[in-house]
Homo-oligomer: A and B are copies of this chain.
Amino acid sequence: MGAPCLLGPLPACGRFGVPAGEGAAGLGDSIQPARKNQHVSNVSVQLEMRSLWEEFNSLGTEMIVTKAGRRMFPTFQVKLSGLDPLADYVLLMDFMPLDDKRYRYAFHSSSWLVAGRADPAAPGRVHFHPDSPAKGGQWMRQIVSFDKLKLTNNLLDDNGHIILNSMHRYQPRFHVVYVDPRRDSERFAHENFKSFTFAETQFMAVTAYQNHRITQLKIASNPFAKGFRDCEPDDW
């Protein structure tokens, strides 16, 4: 996990809103500043389990945050192409606030209401994929899974987890960073990464599920959630 200092140029986390357009067939958005290094310019990313993400998104995805850190479900997983098989890349994720609002859930109407301005945002953290850095060929060989990533609401977390505010909305982002071997690579940092946003992965951070239909979908689709069934039981 040799984290290089190539992250300054990532689009700042303090802005809201996500470029709205969505690439066809679940290809990630990558609206980028002008010119990019050829090692990243042809990179494309496909979101795995897209239909499951969309099912959650249509209900309003909620992700649990806990003091100890909680994994996301669905897990953010992507298939990569267009990397230089022999070049080194670092893969990472961060989370952008989708707006500057705080929400609360109205059980009677089963809907989210704005409850005021956002709470102060914790210092933005990033999560490096633990296999970083690795060759493009390695990254493309199989699905890249961020199943070690955990979300927490503990502002004092020292486990390196992603710190989020409960009852706030977030948009996960995925970044491919080319490890530039040139001596003065810092000067090209802004050219050496490419970022991807999948609108269907946005979610509300919560400490307990609010929408009961989200709970049910989690139980139905997450093997770790009790009551998982592969198919309809016979005697029901």
Question: For the complex, is A138 an interface residue (Cβ under 8 Å from B)?
Answer: yes
Q: Does A2 contact B (CB under 8 A)?
A: yes
Whole-angstrom distance between the Cβ of A137 and the nearest chain B Cβ = 8
Contact partner of A2 among B1, B2, B135, CB < 8 A?
B135
Q: Give the number of copies in the complex.
A: 2
Q: Which of B2, B135, B138 contacts A134 (CB 8 A)?
A: B2
**Chain B positions within 8 Å of A138 at CB level:** 1-2
Min Cβ gap A216→B in Å is 36
**A138 to B133 alpha-carbon distance, docked (Å):** 13
CA distance A178 to B85 in the complex (A): 22
Alpha-carbon distance between A126 and B1 when the two chains are bound, in angstroms: 23
Distance (whole angstroms) from the CB of A181 to the closest CB of chain B: 9
Contact mask A1-40 → B, CB, 8 Å, 1/0? 1100000000000000000000000000000000000000
Q: Which of A1, A2, A134, A135 has the most CB of B within 10 A?
A: A2
Name the residue on B nearest A88 (C-beta): B2
CA distance A135 to B134 in the complex (A): 13
Q: What chain B residues lie within 8 Å of A134 (beta carbons)?
A: 1-2
Query: Considering the chains assembled together, what is the distance between the CA atoms of A135 and B135 in angstroms?
Result: 16
CA distance A2 to B84 in the complex (A): 14
**Which 5 A-B pairs have CB atoms at the shortest separation, nearest pair first?**
A2-B135, A2-B138, A2-B134, A1-B138, A1-B134
Shortest CB distance A9–B (Å): 23
Query: In the assembly, what is the distance between CA of A1 and CA of B141, in Å?
Result: 12
